[in-house]
Chain A
Amino acid sequence: MDEPVRRRERRRQHVEQFLAGAGVTAQQLARSTHECLDQWARQVLLVQDQPSANWANVVLQLCRAVESELASTLGQMEGLTFLADGALGDKARDLARLDQQTKQKLAASGIKVGFLGELQRLLSELARLRRQTDAAHGAVDLQTATSADANRARQIAGTILKRLHSPPAKP
């Protein structure tokens, strides 16, 4: 096996391990999410066992994976299309502002309203980890992140992916 193939295989295994821990199968995820997770694994392999490394790109790639999956799932639903675009913090804010009528409509279509509250909290925390500065979104520079930040982002991303793909509640 040549080196690029070996490295690709290592990344695939890393992603598979993450998804298994989250209780999600690779087949459930959008292609764009797979690409983000591959980039995430690439960044992890670069910085693991390197105490001086900045883990910001690891956090960033996980955020992108979550954004991608949100866009291809809930973001396709009427009333939640704001989840298909924009910053994580804005998505969390808009989730918190959902009116009662929209919530009722979503509940009628099988969305757990309790999940939307949880999603709002998780996205807020993920946005905080990403340190949503103008610099980060302008792709100029990221702030410094630690491996603990990256681990927390991993937990949050895993929870979100799992919730997105768990069976909907009966209306």
Chain B
Amino acid sequence: MRLLVVCAGNTCRSPMAGGLARKIGMQHGIALEVRTAGVAHHPNRRVEPKAVAAMAEVGVDISNEYSKQITAEDIEWADAVVAVVQEHARYLAEEYPAAASKVYRLASDVQDPYGQPLCMYRRCRDRLDALLLQLPISHSWSPGPDGPS
């Protein structure tokens, strides 16, 4: 299964969610490929150090990830596109109508921790983890309680 996780800058939430999804996939023996991207990325910028630190605490290394802009190729590649922000899910469904049926929002919006202390990144990480666990990531993806955006 190919999972694309999307947020705003692709510096905090989506890299964290992507790392957590990989971990969940490994724990559950799911063959999972994960990409992450942003709708408003920062060229040549690495993932936020606090996001890296928060993820390192749970044994996930995202230190080599860079901010990337979402592309049509990413959308086509993915079996499921998970937006961390509701507005972004709506945008993606509108921008890529052929892919609208595979665009989901993770839940209600997950607050952007950018610029906040490390404790907020930890809180964000734990929330993302809980939300991802609610999604039945299995051989056939079916969305969580909120369903398609």
**Interface of A with B (CB < 8 Å)?**
3-4, 7, 42-43, 45-47, 49-57, 141-144
Dominant SS at the B interface?
Answer: loop
Contact B112 A50 (CB under 8 A): yes
CB distance from B70 to the nearest CB of A (A): 11
**Beta-carbon contacts under 8 Å, B44-102 to A:** 44-45, 48, 85, 87-88, 90-91, 93-94
CB distance from A53 to the nearest CB of B (A): 4
Between A and B, 15 residue pairs with Cβ closer than 8 Å are A4-B94, A45-B87, A45-B91, A46-B8, A46-B87, A46-B91, A50-B85, A51-B112, A51-B115, A52-B7, A53-B8, A53-B9, A53-B39, A53-B40, A54-B41
Q: Which residues from chain A contact B7 at a C-beta distance below 8 Å?
A: 50, 52
Q: What is the number of contacts between chain A and chain B, taking CB atoms within 8 Å?
A: 61
Closest 9 CB pairs of A and B: A52-B9, A52-B114, A50-B8, A53-B8, A53-B40, A51-B114, A141-B43, A54-B40, A54-B42
**Interface of B with A (CB < 8 Å)?**
7-9, 11-13, 38-45, 48, 85, 87-88, 90-91, 93-94, 112, 114-115
Knowing that A50-B7, A52-B11, A55-B40 are A-B contacts, what are 4 other residue pairs whose CB atoms are under 8 Å apart, sorted by A's residue number?
A3-B90, A49-B112, A53-B40, A54-B9
B7, B41, B44: which has the most chain A beta carbons within 10 Å? B41
In the complex the two chains form, what is the Cα distance from A117 to B114 in whole Å? 40
Contact B90 A7 (CB under 8 A): yes
Residue of A nearest to B149 (CB): A3
A52, A53, A144: which has the most chain B beta carbons within 10 Å? A52
